[in-house]
Amino acid sequence: MFALSFEAFGGPEVLQYVELPDPPVLPGHVLVDVKAAGVNFADIYRRRGSYRELGEPPYINGYEGAGIVSAVGAGVSGIRVGDRIGFVDVARANVSRLNVPADRAIPLPDDVDYKTAAAVLLQGLTAQYLCEDSAVIAPGDWVVVHSAAGGVGRHLVRFCRAKGARVIAMASSPEKRQIAQDLGADVVFGYEGDWVSAVRAMTEGGAHVVYDAVGSTLDKSIEATRPRGVIVTYGMSDAPPRPVDPLVLMQTSKALRGAELWDYLDSAAERARRSARLFAALSSGTLQVPPIETFALADGRRAHRRLEDRSFSGKVVLVPSM
């Protein structure tokens, strides 16, 4: 099999396309011929050595993708050779062949191809739990979505609008603000100037819910939220947030919630339930497939550079067989 690997932390130049022995199928797993793998900012953080431990080198990034089952391990039922599956939480996925725990295999509908699955599963499921589990959103509520043209942000805009919320989209450039507007945002702001005052004026006192994946903006997100509102922090694409004084929250009756997808994908039943609803949202048009740029697995350095320069408001996907 082939893999996108690295042995030292650093820039895209540390990535190497290498050939490794084919893995045998493990008990309780299915062996998957990977057809597409999503690239996310977490992969960049890990490559830089600034996110989570990866064990011992050589390192292999990735944990999201889709492919076809080529072998079924002992003790597995309900999955057959030839089945099409996706996955969102299987480590070392930037490979051409991968052992996937059977309980983490997500069946793909016939109308969802491999690239689409690799482009929407992780970010779509994240947006789904954020707007359904992390905060209660009622029709007419004001919701602020940071990085609204980005991977999770674009789906949050669509999900929140489908719930009847009024969405204020935050985006860093005119091009990204236009994308957010095209996705259905009611109001679009940039980060220049006093955007907190603009949000408070537009919402007559602050938003009901603010979704913040930027990190460095968290203190301003708290200011932009009305009393009894909710701030959901789920990322740090710019920088880690500064520590929050709990008295600030207490004095204004605001709630700050952390959010992590893996706490919600805690069983095979939950993966099946949530992914089925995600695919239904895609089929109905509630969600839109983002623009997808495809790179060969062997061209992983260029794929990382494309995501890292932040000029592309879509999904970067690696394809082993290109």
The CA distance from 295 to 286, in Å, is 28
pLDDT tens-digit map of 6-46: 999 999 999 999 999 999 999 999 999 999 999 998 898 88
Domains defined for the chain, CATH in brackets: 2-121+265-319 (3.90.180.10), 139-259 (3.40.50.720)
pLDDT tens-digit map of 145-170: 999 999 999 999 999 999 999 999 99
Is residue 236's pLDDT more than 80?
no
Element (H, E) at 15: none
Is residue 51's pLDDT more than 70?
no
- The confidence score (pLDDT) of residue 237 equals 78
- The confidence score (pLDDT) of residue 241 equals 85
pLDDT tens-digit map of 74-123: 999 999 999 999 999 999 999 999 999 999 999 999 999 999 999 999 99
Average pLDDT over residues 119-128: 96
The CA distance from 220 to 212, in Å, is 10
* pLDDT above 90: percentage of residues in the chain: 87
pTM: 0.93
Which of 151, 153, 62 shows the shortest CA–CA distance to 143? 153
- The confidence score (pLDDT) of residue 42 equals 85
Q: Which residues contact 42 (CB under 8 A, 6 or more apart)?
A: 51, 63
Which of 180-184, 212-216, 306-310 is predicted least confidently? 306-310
Element (H, E) at 279: helix 268-284
- The confidence score (pLDDT) of residue 322 equals 59
191-207 residues labelled b (16+ CB within 10 A) or e (exposed): eeeebbeebbebbeebb
User: Mutual orientation of helices 174-182 and 151-162 as an angle, nearest 10°?
Assistant: 30
